[in-house]
Structure 1
Amino acid sequence: MTSSTFDSTLSSLGIGRSGTAATPTTTTQAASQTLDQSDFLQLMTAQLKNQDPFNPVDNTQMVAQMAQFSSVAGISQMNTTLTQIADKLGATSASDALSYVGKTVLAPGNVAYGRTSGGIAGAVQLGDDATDVTVAISDANGNLLKTMSLGAQDKGTVSFDWDGTNDAGESAGSGPFTVTTYATNNGTTVNSQALVWAPVAAVSMPSDGEAQLTLPGVGQIPVSDVVEVG
């Protein structure tokens, strides 16, 4: 097939030789910029229709094109299958999610309830090294109860434990408490996230998406947000 005939065939399919879409003269539909299996078959059919009857396409070339098409189709189907397998293996099963019920997990959150023995435990997730890390604990009305300095800390998870007494040494009750974190590195703010321990009250399994855990005071979080299980 000559170059001009090949270009004409591509143009009739709405495909430019350079890979950009050609503008069809007989339709206003947006032209595709990529070749899929359907386009390949249309192109091959157009090639057969427009071949020179005195110099038809060589059988060897035709077999090679069909073999290439079969190979590409097979690889595409295999990639789809492998993706589905990977998604299945990476997903949390219903039994895995339900096993969290009744357990206590460490997860991102700012509200925590006091332990039976008093106070709360938690952690700070640091996005970078910090020269100063501070945890402030307030009551349900926003009144500051305790400020704890954790000093200089490396990037990662830093645990803290509050005994449940305020700055005056008095019991702060059972909560709920609000946890706020601050972190700086030589005066520059460092990204920090409070992590609190909370019991898993319920699990929801949406038809599409990740399993959700219901934590009192925190709300619903995806299973992937769990940092640690107590």
Structure 2
Amino acid sequence: MTAIGATNNDNPWSGLGLEKKADSRDTTLGQADFLRLMTEQLKNQDPLKPLDNNQFLGQLAQFSTVQGIEDMQGAMTSMASVMESDQTLRAASLVGREALVEADVVELQAGGGIGGEIAATRPGTIQIEIVDSSGATVRRTTVEASGAGSVAWQWDGLDDAGKPIEAGTYGIRATGGTGKDTERLGVGVSARIDSVSIEPTGLVLNLDGLGSHALSSIRRVG
């Protein structure tokens, strides 16, 4: 007769080569656990050296503060997630619209032009230079500022001789004043929003001919 080995009643699956997994236990300390420990501490304290009331209240307040901070962190995390989702939906609605961003380098398309705004600091003539990748000036033009503020500018993609410039990367420089009073001015370039990206640093708008720019760097959306 074939003998059948004894089985382990605690683990009915041992005969199949399956081991019983240890029960998972929650190792976190909750408020009820903390109060239970404090109660045991009071019950087992040295009668000659009883726990000071201020010390007891201090421990209780410390635990409550830590728990409150954890609850607040959880609430803030949830709020941040909701705000990020809402911001993403709002940014997605910007695709196809025009955005104004400060830039000194642009990508000119064949037969195209570029425009935007210059931040004037005072009234007077503003000099605008378009330079190629070698630093040579291919177009000079001017706009008049009636005072401090934004002044519209436009480049039709032509050189000083009125001929179309080939597609490529070009720099833009704007200066105001004359002589010792000459100053460099900020140039804003308008471009179409092609898409929106979600990066670890926040939302990024991908602009036609201008590359990627953080949402916070956009000066205006038209």
Output the TM-score relative to the length of structure 1: 0.55
Deviation at 1:192, TM superposition (A): 3.9
Asked if 1:67 is matched to 2:43, the reply is no
Deviation at 1:125, TM superposition (A): 4.5
State the Cα RMSD in Å.
Answer: 4.1
What is the 5 A alignment of 1:1-230? Answer: 54-58=48-52, 60-81=53-74, 83-85=76-78, 87-88=80-81, 90-91=83-84, 93-109=87-103, 110-113=105-108, 119-125=113-119, 129-130=121-122, 133-138=126-131, 142-144=135-137, 145-151=139-145, 153-154=147-148, 157-162=150-155, 166-167=159-160, 170-173=162-165, 176=168, 177-183=170-176, 187=180, 192-206=185-199, 208-230=200-222
> What is the DSSP-based 3-state SS (H/G/I as helix, E as strand, rest coil) of the residue aligned with 2:202?
coil
> What is the DSSP-based 3-state SS (H/G/I as helix, E as strand, rest coil) of the residue aligned with 1:96?
helix
Equivalent residues of 2:97, 2:192 under 8 A apart = yes
Structure ID, larger Rg: 2
Deviation digits for residues 159-190 of structure 1 (CA, Å, limit 9, x no counterpart): 3234555555x254585553222356994675
Unmatched tracts of structure 2, length 5 or more: 1-33
The alpha-carbon distance between structure 1 residues 69 and 166, as it changes in their structure 2 partners (threshold 3 A), is: same
Deviation digits for residues 125-163 of structure 1 (CA, Å, limit 9, x no counterpart): 47xx45764332235665431232444753x64432345
Question: How many residues were matched structurally?
Answer: 177
Equivalent residues of 1:112, 1:175 under 8 A apart = yes
Deviation at 1:113, TM superposition (A): 3.6
Unmatched tracts of structure 1, length 5 or more: 1-40
Deviation digits for residues 18-63 of structure 1 (CA, Å, limit 9, x no counterpart): xxxxxxxxxxxxxxxxxxxxxxx9xxx9xx8xx97623223x3344
Deviation at 1:196, TM superposition (A): 0.9
Percent identity reads 22
Output the TM-score relative to the length of structure 2: 0.57
Equivalent residues of 1:108, 1:193 under 8 A apart = yes
